[in-house]
Amino acid sequence: MTNHGLFIGLITVDLIYLAASAPQNNQKLVASDYTVAAGGPATNAAVTFSYLGNHATLLGVLGSHPMTQLIRGDLTQYHVDIVDLDSSVNTPPPVSSIIVTQSTGERAVISINAVKTPASVAAIPPNILHNIDVVLIDGHQMPVGYAIAQMAKAHHIPIIIDGGSWKPGFQEVLPLVDYAICSANFRPPDCNSETEVIDYLRGLGIPHIAITHGEQPITYCSHGKIGAIAVPGIQPVDTLGAGDIFHGAFCHYILQASFTDALDQAAKIAAKACQYFGTRRWMDERSE
């Protein structure tokens, strides 16, 4: 049986360069490799979820600018359906320019997020949750995410948040969430340590919490039980999108495994992705 996931949030064009380093002021660099892909946390998660054998629907603002054909083409290739919350937008989609350092896999990013393209709750299709088994919210379309979280909660559909960083409005969404999967950069107001973050999220009634730390073990709290999960040791080529890919894989595995097993399997997928340049090439190595 194919599972169906709904991914709500940011849709960008990612221009990704592989170089010896990020440029300094007034410096010109020649990249050794280059790729273009659709990007954004929810977008990369949707692509991963689809790649793992599921049906993914991406809900965000795309619009009608000619550059959106790059996004449509990429997502069609990876079998992700797009529900455009505002097809009348004719300005360019958000573009992220990313430089990946060849020796370390670390990335430098400059981008515009979805603040310039907020969507109306009225644009949500009435049947958006039909056949949906899991919902992921990345926080870039917060009013829409909140409205759908309320609907999903009423239908007992599991809700996952991608807590890459704190965004205004999360305080309304979080009490509805089943799985808070956050980065170490996720800091709610007045939280200055990881312990305080976990206590804050537990205080909102979230049963399952995880905080990722790159190559370091994942901290988790499940129904009050705290533990850690090791991540595979690798030599990274490119860490861009690793968190997004982790979230997409988690959405896949949580529908068939325990919380800790889903975290462990998602970490393996993200580690594999980090061994390839860009956010897509790991998926072309199907022989593995």
- pLDDT > 90: what percent of the chain? 89
What's the mean pLDDT in 168-176? 96
**139/161 Cα distance (integer angstroms):** 8
According to DSSP H, which parts of 58-193 are helical? 68-77, 142-154, 170-173
Count CB neighbours of 34 within 10 A.
12
Q: Which helix (H) or strand (E) holds 201?
A: helix 194-203
Distance CA 254, CA 74 (A): 26
In b/e form, how buried is each residue of 230-242, taking b as 16+ CB within 10 angstroms? ebeeeebbbbbbb
Read off the pLDDT of residues 233-257 as tens digits, 9 standing for 90 and up: 999 998 989 999 999 999 999 999 9
Question: What's the confidence (pLDDT) of residue 285?
Answer: 62
77 phi/psi in degrees, rounded to 5 = -60, -35
**Domains of the chain with CATH codes:** 4-22+32-284 (3.40.1190.20)
pLDDT for 216 equals 96
pLDDT tens digit sequence for 103-131:
888 888 888 765 667 899 999 999 999 99
Query: 286 pLDDT exceeds 60?
Result: no
116-120, 192-196, 212-216: the lowest-pLDDT one: 116-120
Question: ∠103-107-113 over CA atoms, to 5°?
Answer: 170
Average pLDDT over residues 13-38: 93
What distance in Å separates the CA atoms of residue 30 and residue 28, rounded to the nearest whole number?
A: 7
Residue that wins the pLDDT comparison between 104 and 263 = 263
Helix, strand, coil proportions of the chain in percent (round to 5)? 30, 25, 45
Contact of 220 with 226, CB cutoff 8 Å: yes
Residue closest to 93 by CA, chosen among 101, 82, 80: 82
Cα–Cα distance between 12 and 178 in angstroms, integer?
A: 27
Mean pLDDT, all residues of the chain: 94
CB-based contacts of 199: which residues, under 8 Å, 6+ apart? Answer: none
Report the predicted TM-score, pTM, of the whole model to 2 decimal places: 0.95
Report how far apart, in Å, the C-alpha atoms of 3 and of each of 48, 255, 258 are: 13, 8, 16
